[in-house]
A and B are shown apart, each in its own frame.
Chain A
Amino acid sequence: MGLSEERVRELSALCLSFRRELIRILHTIQTGHPGGSLSATEIITTLYQEKMSVPSAGDPDRDRFVLSKGHAAPMLYLNLAEKGFFPKEDLATLRQAGSFLQGHPCAHKTPGVDVSSGPLGLGLSVGLGMALSGKLQKKDYTVYVLLGDGELQEGGCWEAAMAAAKYDPGNLIAIVDHNGVQLDGTNDEIMPLFDLAAKFRSFHWEVLTCNGHDIAAFSDAVDRAKTIKEKPVVIICETVKGKGISFMEGKNTWHGKPISDEDYQLAMEQLGGTADE
């Protein structure tokens, strides 16, 4: 059953507040990656606040989330704080010496982070190991792995894709944040991915696609993915890098760049917030 319109409205409102908080924090600390967090906002928020069962950080039966594109860490932290795994006030310490909120996810420092990440191309392998462990231990958790599209240029992703098809644990769902843009330019300029769906299909995966900013559509895709057991499933989410802030949208220069005071004012206006909030 799909999400009610009311629930979609609630999650949309939450996503908007996360975007504002993200921009506020990154402007204050003058470091971090706005682009990739903004493209993955609906994906990560829908997973943590709606789809995943995580009664407590570290619960052995919890659903797992692997943020393979580790540079979207701030959006993960916003969701973990919303879950109550640490105080929201601590979000302001992001990337600062002494903080438990590292520039890239760190499992041994941050409550609720299931695995450390940062070097790209490892998360799908980690997720497969987690999924197979669940199967061996007869647990019924699901493992979600969020991959960047530029990240798929790492060969290791395809080693993992092959292995997932061989072992098909039945509890592994890969999600691609397909925003088409990476640090130095567009995917097409830097290293074209061509037909990504066809690539996964040829690795014996089931491929679902949806608009990664459409909460109801993404939620439906996750529900559908959970019913597919005979092959590993990837949901390719079409997204916009920098989504929600006009001058960041689709711009590789906003992969990781400090936000000026002027841009901050403009961004907050577009997000319906105020700069001094």
Chain B
Amino acid sequence: MSEKIAIRDAFGAALKKLGEQNEKVVVLDADVGSSSKSIVFGKAFPERYFNVGIAELNMTAMSAGFALSGMIPFVNTFATFITTRALDPVVSLIAYDHLNVKLCGAYSGLSDSYDGASHHSLTDIACVRSLPGMTVIVVSDAVETEKAVFAATKLNGPVYLRLSRAPVPVIYPQDMDFKIGKGIVLREGSDIAILATGYMVHKALDAAKILEAKGIQARVADIHTIRPIDRKLLLESAKKCGRILTVEEHHKDGGLGSSVCEVLSETCPVPVCRMGIEDFSESGDYEQILKKAGLDSETIAAKAEMLIQPF
């Protein structure tokens, strides 16, 4: 886990590879193709690439037309704009008619750090996971990004793919087994289960090392699919560890932590501590503002340690 690859670069390359294999794939972008890296597909397949300008609503409604006519559209803009500016067609067309559209949220969480709160996305998971029939995937490294792009294409229905601007350490080997809806246990332990998603997965692994030095064995899992969530893994973690810590680069309410609580409160109630972002953030260095929000490996480890204390 040393080499770093930016999720967006992995995404652009994956789209191009997909385009080579599947003629039905079309890609739309709203003038952020050089940022989202959808431009990599656009250069290879200009006739199947539609940069519609700064018009997210039109782009997303257009994608519904493509899907209704047998194509597989990938819609690209910043994550926050998909669930703010373009939410109407996401709800009334894509979710309602269960269309085969892949919504790709670039620069999610705080990853577009210097642009400030207007370009961060804190509520996108909460928005999309409340939509009937929507699959929600959050990727945590370059390898998983490519796997998720291909898996989303195979699934006939709407998918929200949460991406990132950030360079991330590579966690997975190329032959990793990625299945939508099936979380991945990255480390075994029985004192506490740390369930993380996206950019927080490698932070959780780092936190587990800090805990190990203190004699605490943490189970760490990558919950890459927020919906449908891996109920089996959640239940197993609750039974095995008795305490759960969730970590996500999203508002504390409405994302992974809420999903975990919803499942466990009905099946195996155990103490769950949710770590996430509590308020709108600010411009600044990515790692610095993450740390300010409490999303660094030291704070994760400290929370875990607190959680395993007897009540």
Binding site for B on A (CB under 8 A): 60, 64, 106-108, 114-119, 121-122, 125-134, 136-137, 155-156, 159-160, 162-163, 166-167
Contacts and interface: CB of A to CB of B under 8 A. Distances in A.
A167 B60 CA distance: 16
Contacts of A121: 57
Contacts of B59: 125
Looking at B63, B69, B71, the one whose CB has the most chain A CB atoms below 10 A away is B69
A108 B48 contact: no
B58 A136 contact: no
B64 A163 contact: no
A253 to B, nearest CB: 27
B236 to A, nearest CB: 36
Contact of A119 (B73, B92, B98): B92
A115 B64 CA distance: 9
A118 B63 CA distance: 17
Nearest to A129: B65
Interface in B44-75: 47-48, 50, 52-53, 55, 57-71, 73
Minimum-distance CB pairs A-B, first 7: A129-B65, A125-B61, A133-B69, A159-B58, A159-B55, A129-B62, A126-B65
Given A125-B64, A132-B26, A159-B57, 6 more contacts: A107-B68, A129-B73, A132-B50, A137-B71, A156-B88, A160-B62
B133 to A, nearest CB: 10
B257 interface: no
B285 interface: no
Contact of B55 (A115, A127, A136, A163): A163
B70 A126 contact: no
A155 to B, nearest CB: 8
B55 A126 contact: no
B66 A132 contact: yes
A117 B58 CA distance: 14
B92 A116 contact: yes
Contacts of B69: 64, 129-130, 133-134, 137
A125 B92 contact: no
B62 A128 contact: yes
A107 B61 contact: no
Contacts of A127: 65
Contact of B62 (A108, A119, A126, A136): A126
A133 B70 contact: yes
Contact of B92 (A60, A122, A129, A167): A122
Size bracket of the B interface: 20 to 34
Interface of B: 26, 47-48, 50, 52-53, 55, 57-71, 73, 88-89, 92-93, 96-98
Contacts of B63: 129
Nearest to A157: B58
B93 A126 contact: yes
A220 B60 CA distance: 33
A156 B97 contact: no
25 contacts: A108-B97, A114-B68, A115-B64, A115-B65, A116-B93, A116-B97, A121-B57, A125-B61, A125-B62, A125-B89, A127-B65, A128-B62, A129-B64, A130-B66, A131-B65, A132-B65, A133-B66, A133-B70, A136-B48, A137-B69, A137-B70, A159-B55, A163-B58, A166-B52, A166-B53
B68 A119 contact: no
Contacts of B73: 129
A126 B50 CA distance: 14
A46 to B, nearest CB: 23
A109 to B, nearest CB: 10
Contacts of A106: 96-97
A272 B178 CA distance: 66
Contacts of A136: 26, 47-48, 71
Contacts of A125: 57-62, 64-65, 89
A115 B68 contact: yes
A162 B55 contact: yes
A130 B97 contact: no
Contacts of A167: 50
A175 to B, nearest CB: 17
A15 B288 CA distance: 68
Contact of B66 (A129, A156, A159, A160): A129
